[in-house]
């Protein structure tokens, strides 16, 4: 069984033309880890422009891209990412986990 991550742009939330699927993950956990790194990369990309935590959250929910995966919950992960900046490249390197390089 293969697992997928559905990604899209909050500016065009649930617009099928603005969503894409990353397919082929062997486990739900692998898909969830891809989603975690994808979201963290989005947050870190906005952090310098929006240093205030509330502004960073609002900017992410307005301009960022989302990821939906089995067993992944966005809200608590987003709060964690905002409170704890990434310190290693692996924290944001979702591309390394893409099963379709």
pLDDT above 80: residue 13: no
**Overall residue count recorded for the chain in this entry:** 101
Whole-prediction pTM value?
Answer: 0.94
pLDDT per position as a tens digit, 14-66: 788 889 999 999 999 999 999 999 999 999 999 999 999 999 999 999 999 99
**Closest CA relative to residue 62, chosen from 85, 76, 78:** 78
Distance CA 91, CA 39 (A): 10
């Amino acid at each position: 069984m293969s697992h997928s991550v559905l990604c899209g742009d909050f500016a065009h939330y649930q617009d099928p033309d603005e969503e894409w699927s990353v397919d082929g993950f062997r486990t739900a956990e692998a898909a969830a880890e891809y989603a975690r790194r994808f979201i963290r990369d989005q947050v870190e990309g906005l952090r310098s422009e929006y240093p205030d935590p509330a502004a960073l959250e609002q900017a992410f929910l307005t301009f960022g891209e989302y990821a939906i995966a089995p067993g992944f919950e966005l809200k608590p992960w987003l709060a964690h990412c905002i409170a704890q900046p990434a310190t290693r490249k692996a924290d944001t390197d979702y591309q390394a986990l893409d099963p379709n390089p």
